[in-house]
């Protein structure tokens, strides 16, 4: 059976087609779906596309930022108002991949990919999805926990609140091959400060579990404290709590557990 490509002009129609066909896969930039097809993944028989303008819209003028699911990393990098997302966008692939890869697609990328999603998780993003029952907003954490069951839903956009300052949001990707390698681990931290103390810390980790996860124990170690050496050490030593990394060609689970605290310490203390 040949692969059928269906292109729709509205995201709603595409979402309807996606939810009604178990062998359908939505093609954003194609960096994941085309790879799977080229490697002989016969579980995909239908490729769904949508050329709905709404999917490629960027709204970055206000404190709340919204990125259409079809926005590419190259476009994120071209947008001056999205400077806080430039580090994660730049960490993905090479120019060719960044020209095609999309924010929405990254939500489905398995380890060692999905770095942008780590940043979005730390920023407490909201994912707007359209399924068989219409559109709704889902907190990113909830979305990721149910990612394996999201096959029939179409992501429309992702939104998050702009961090108060460049210091408040930090990102670090550890790769063996630079600049294009897959991640050994990825870290992002959102550290809002109120009266000299951290309030509402969120730390997200990539490649430390089957999906991107939060390092809640490390967050607790930071909460209500100033970002001094003792606090950073406490957060770093709690970094592995609740993680379940696995082995792959880039690193073993053991290695990931060993280094995550080291890199979290460097991230929090502002070291390169």
Q: Does 40 bind another protein (CB under 8 A)?
A: yes
Quote the tokens at residue 179.
């600049």
Size of the site for another protein (CB under 8 A): 9
Burial 55-64, CB ≥16 within 10 A → b, else e: bbebebeeee
Q: Does 42 bind another protein (CB under 8 A)?
A: yes
Residue 181's SS3 state is coil
> Is 96 or 229 the residue whose CB approaches another protein more closely?
96
What is the closest distance, in whole angstroms, from the C-beta atom of residue 24 to another protein in the complex?
16
Q: Does 1 bind another protein (CB under 8 A)?
A: yes
Q: Does 2 bind another protein (CB under 8 A)?
A: yes
Hey, which residues between 53 and 72 contact another protein (CB under 8 A)?
none
Rounded (5°) CA angle 167-183-242: 75
Report the sign of the C-alpha dihedral through residues 131, 161, 184, 68, in that order: positive
Query: Among the candidate windows 38-46, 52-60, 167-175, 263-271, which touches another protein by CB under 8 A?
Result: 38-46
The terminus-to-terminus CA distance of the chain in angstroms comes to: 51
Q: Does 39 bind another protein (CB under 8 A)?
A: yes
CA–CA separation, 140 and 128 (whole Å): 9
What is the closest distance, in whole angstroms, from the C-beta atom of residue 39 to another protein in the complex?
5
In the complex, the residues that contact another protein under the rule CB under 8 A are 1-3, 37-42
């Amino acid at each position: 059976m040949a692969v059928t490509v269906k292109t729709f002009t509205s995201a709603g129609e595409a979402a309807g087609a996606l939810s009604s066909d178990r062998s359908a896969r939505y093609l954003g930039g194609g960096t994941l779906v085309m790879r799977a097809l080229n490697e002989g993944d016969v579980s995909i028989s239908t490729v769904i596309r949508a050329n709905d303008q709404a999917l490629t819209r960027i709204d970055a003028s206000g404190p709340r930022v919204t990125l259409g699911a079809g926005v590419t990393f190259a476009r994120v990098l071209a947008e001056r108002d999205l400077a806080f997302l430039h580090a994660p966008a730049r960490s993905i692939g090479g120019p060719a991949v960044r020209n095609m890869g999309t924010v929405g697609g990254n939500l489905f990328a398995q380890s060692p990919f999905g770095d942008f999603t780590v940043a979005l998780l730390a920023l407490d993003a909201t994912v707007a999805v359209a399924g068989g029952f219409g559109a709704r907003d889902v907190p990113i954490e909830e979305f990721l926990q149910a990612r394996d069951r999201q096959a029939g839903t179409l992501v429309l956009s992702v939104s998050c609140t702009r961090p108060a300052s460049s210091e408040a949001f930090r990102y670090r990707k550890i790769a063996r091959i630079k600049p294009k390698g897959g991640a050994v681990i990825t870290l992002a931290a959102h550290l809002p400060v109120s009266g000299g103390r951290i309030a509402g810390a969120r730390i997200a980790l990539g490649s430390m579990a089957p999906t991107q996860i939060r390092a809640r124990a490390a967050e607790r170690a930071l909460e209500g404290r100033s970002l001094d050496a003792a606090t950073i050490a406490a957060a770093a030593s709690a970094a592995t709590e609740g993680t379940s990394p696995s082995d792959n060609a880039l690193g073993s689970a053991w290695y990931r557990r060993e280094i995550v605290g080291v890199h979290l310490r460097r991230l929090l203390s502002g070291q390169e």
